[in-house]
Chains A and B, each alone.
Chain A
Amino acid sequence: MENTQLVETPHTHTHQDNIYLPYLMTIDKVTQEAPGVKTFRLKFQDEAEAERFDFKAGQFGEYSAFGEGESTFCIASSPTRKGYIECTFREAGKVTSSLAKLEEGDTMGFRGPYGNTFPLDQWKGKNLLFIAGGIALPPMRCVIWNALDTRENFKDVSILYGARSVNDLVYKHELEEWHDREDVNLVTTVDPGGETPDWKGEVGFVPSILEKMNPSSENTIAIVCGPPVMIKFTFPVLYKLGFTPDNIYTTLENRMKCGVGKCGHCYVGKVCICKDGPVFTGAELEKMPAEY
């Protein structure tokens, strides 16, 4: 109520519940994925918290650079890989640029896991078709590894991944690994003009390459992650291939501040992305206004 000054919350060292208080994480490993894109492997500094922590594919978190603020990314590692979490981000704003300056051994913050999950349990016995564009591979990488680590649960696994240029493809080593695996069908593509002389993948935008791939929609779940414009052009192709809205999944990444359904930033109509999502089916997406 004291309106004339900033309201100070008196501080103490006794730890109370506070949903905005991040876990302290040590950066265990930094991988440069592409120009301006890095992956951090993070470990909990508090062992008890590490022990308690659990998440599922599709969930996200708020990552802190102390001194700059928070940024929202999905958890890019699979819940099947225990003992750490990973996040992949592109240097774009104030927080991500500051995070990018951190080094192995440094401390950063993490709040999460937040949001709903991809229902991998429901997908048992089905073919999985992953479609991702650019920096949207990270949210999908979590699901891909989760599926590959429990490979016996699924039939065919196909991955279509496109980026602006060869240089912009993230997780290059993992792309090679998926390429070499017998039980994964990987198609990579770059936008016209983004290819290098020795590029062996496709050239073209994701929706048209998808059409060319012509995957069967029979007993198949499509998981699509990409910028709003890619989603807009990919869905019609999937429908043409016979996919129904119920069998298409995507994850939305609206601007968020709290991550826990309170700050009001991420609403799309009555849908609160951080609480109701970020994972939605095509059917759910159709019911939402196009304000994402």
Chain B
Amino acid sequence: MKNTFSSELSQKVASMLESGEVQLVIGYEEGTKRPRPCFISDAADAGKLIFDERCTGNLTVYLTKKELIGDSKVVVTASYFALRSILRLLTENQVNLEKLVVLTVSAEGHLIQFETTDDIAAFIKSAPVPAREDDQVLMQKLEAMSREERWEFWSEELSKCFKCYACRAACPMCYCTKCVVEENRPQWIQPWASTLANIEWHINRAMHMTGRCSDCGACGSACPLGLPVHLLSKKITEEVETSFGMNLNDTLQGGNALSTFKPEDKETFIK
């Protein structure tokens, strides 16, 4: 059964599509086992839209796909983490709010349409961060390990990776048209699957995510082998916050942690 919020959402986007205000809606529909992304360009299909607590996949990954979006003005239904991704994509000039309608649901179950970047930033600052208990348990376990034990844990986990790149494909921040692993002059990362080659890939990816990751966990959820690769960027994100004072919700002010210099930074090599 659809909840009342989903009905409200369906009506809203149906009228936006009908009036021609937008041409495409990226939302969720019921899937085989859980909600899945859907793309609606006809108001008559708006009825299948749902948006509830099961809708955790990060839809912003589609916002940078030119072949899907074209010149359309797009509606996206954004979960908490997706809103963070949108902020980050705005910072990196990958999306344009003039071509984008961002909708979400408030804690009270109201439909919210954001007008400005500041509205999105204010919302995610005030909204509670959705808890992911399994991650917290594993993080605590990892933090309690010695450095050697952690190395062993990650070597073992990452050795299983077969490089299907679902982690990269599901990540809203992985929008490069040619990924560093596909660059072969020079070959920065060995592109085949083996323990060393896999560690190279995942460390490189985590470093690339440093200060950019929204902590949505999409990479880890996408992994068909269930490798907790999202924890690598999660931990780095925490480090960035401690070391550079950059908070995920302040990314608009922050820039990219590893490529942004501030006069008060303690490193002097750049001066």
Partner of A5, one of B159, B184, B185, B187: B159
A5-B160 CB under 8 A given contacts A94-B184, A97-B185: no
Query: Which of A3, A93, A97 has most chain B Cβ within 10 Å?
Result: A3
Chain B min CB distance to A64 (Å): 15
CA distance A191 to B184 in the complex (A): 32
Closest to B155 in A: A4
Q: A94-B184, A94-B185, A97-B185 are in contact. Are A3 and B192 (CB under 8 A)?
A: no
Interface size on A, residues (CB 8 A): 7
Residue of A4, A6, A93, A94 near B192 (CB, 8 A) is A6
Most buried by B among A6, A94, A97: A6
Chain B, residue nearest A4 (CB): B159
CB contacts (< 8 Å) of B197 on chain A: these are: 6
Residues of chain B lying within 8 A (CB to CB) of residue A93: 184-185
**Cβ of B162 and Cβ of A3 under 8 Å apart?**
yes
Q: What residues of A have a CB within 8 angstroms of the CB of B193 in the complex? A: 6
Q: Give A191-228 as 1s and 0s: 1 = Cβ < 8 Å from B's Cβ atoms.
A: 00000000000000000000000000000000000000
CB of B195 within 8 Å of the partner chain: yes
List A contacts of B192 (CB < 8 A): 6
Chain B 160-200 against A: per-residue CB contact (8 Å), 1 yes, 0 no?
10100000000000000000000011010000111101000
Cβ < 8 Å to A, chain B residues 146-162? 156, 159-160, 162
The distance in angstroms between the C-alpha atoms of A3 and B159, with both chains bound, is 8
Residues on B with C-beta less than 8 A from A5 are 159, 194-195
**Which label, helix, strand, loop or mixed, suits the secondary structure of the A interface?**
loop
Q: A-B contact count, CB below 8 Å?
A: 21
Cross-chain contact A4 with B184 (CB below 8 angstroms): no
Query: What residues of A have a CB within 8 angstroms of the CB of B194 in the complex?
Result: 5-6
In the complex, what residue of chain B is closest to A7 when comparing beta carbons?
A: B194
Closest-by-CB residue of A relative to B190 is A6
Contacting pair A3 B185 (CB below 8 A): no
Q: How many residues of B contact A (CB 8 A)?
A: 12
A216 CB to nearest B CB, Å: 45
CA distance A84 to B160 in the complex (A): 46
> Which of the residues A3, A6, A94, A97 comes within 8 Å of B160, measured between beta carbons?
A3
Within 8 A of B (CB), among A72-112: 93-94, 97
Chain B residues with CB below 8 A from A4, complex form: 156, 159-160, 195
- In the complex, A94→B192 CA distance in Å? 16
For window 209-260 of A, CB contacts with B under 8 Å fall at none
Q: What mask results when residues 1 to 39 of chain A are scored 1 for a CB within 8 Å of chain B, else 0?
A: 001111000000000000000000000000000000000
Considering the chains assembled together, what is the distance between the CA atoms of A5 and B155 in angstroms? 11
Residue ID in chain B nearest A95 by CB atoms: B184
Determine the chain A residues whose CB is within 8 A of the CB of B156 once the complex forms: 4
B192 smallest CB distance to A (angstroms): 7
Name B187's closest neighbour in chain A (CB-CB). A94
Q: How far is the CA of A94 from the CA of B184 in the complex (A)?
A: 7
Determine the distance from Cα of A94 to Cα of B187 in the docked complex, in whole angstroms.
9
Task: Return B152 CB to nearest CB of chain A, in Å.
Answer: 13
Q: Smallest CB–CB gap between A52 and chain B, Å?
A: 33
- Give the Cβ gap from A106 to chain B, nearest Cβ, in Å: 21
Counting chain B CB atoms within 10 Å of each CB, which of A4, A5, A93, A94 scores highest? A4
Q: How far is the CA of A108 from the CA of B45 in the complex (A)?
A: 60
Q: How far is B197's CA from A4's CA once the two chains are assembled, in angstroms?
A: 12
B244 → chain A closest CB, angstroms? 36
Bound CA–CA A3/B162 (angstroms): 8
Complex: A6 Cα to B184 Cα, angstroms: 20
In angstroms, Cα B195 to Cα A3, docked, is 9
- The CA of A250 and the CA of B199, in the complex, are separated in Å by 45
- List B contacts of A6 (CB < 8 A): 192-195, 197
Q: Which residue of B lies closest to A94 (CB)?
A: B184
Residues of chain B lying within 8 A (CB to CB) of residue A3: 159-160, 162
Inter-chain contacts of A94 with B (CB < 8 A): 184-185, 187
Alpha-carbon distance A291/B206, docked complex (angstroms) = 36
CB A51 to nearest CB in B, in angstroms, measures 36
Nearest neighbor of A3 in chain B, beta-carbon distance: B160
**CA A5 to CA B184, docked complex, whole Å:** 22
A97: chain B residues within 8 A (beta carbon): 185
Chain A min CB distance to B8 (Å): 44
Minimum CB distance partner of A69 in chain B: B184
What is the bound-complex CA distance between A3 and B194, given in angstroms? Answer: 8
Cα–Cα, bound, A93→B184 (Å): 9
Bound CA span A6–B156, Å: 14
Nearest A residue to B192, CB-CB: A6
Residues of A within 8 A of B (CB): 3-6, 93-94, 97
A–B complex contacts, Cβ < 8 Å, 14 sampled: A3-B159, A3-B162, A4-B156, A4-B159, A4-B160, A4-B195, A5-B159, A6-B192, A6-B193, A6-B195, A6-B197, A93-B185, A94-B184, A94-B185
7 interchain residue pairs of minimum CB distance: A6-B194, A4-B159, A94-B184, A94-B185, A5-B195, A3-B160, A5-B194
8 more A-B residue pairs beyond the given contacts A4-B160, A4-B195, A6-B194, with a C-beta to C-beta distance below 8 A: A3-B160, A5-B159, A6-B193, A93-B185, A94-B184, A94-B185, A94-B187, A97-B185
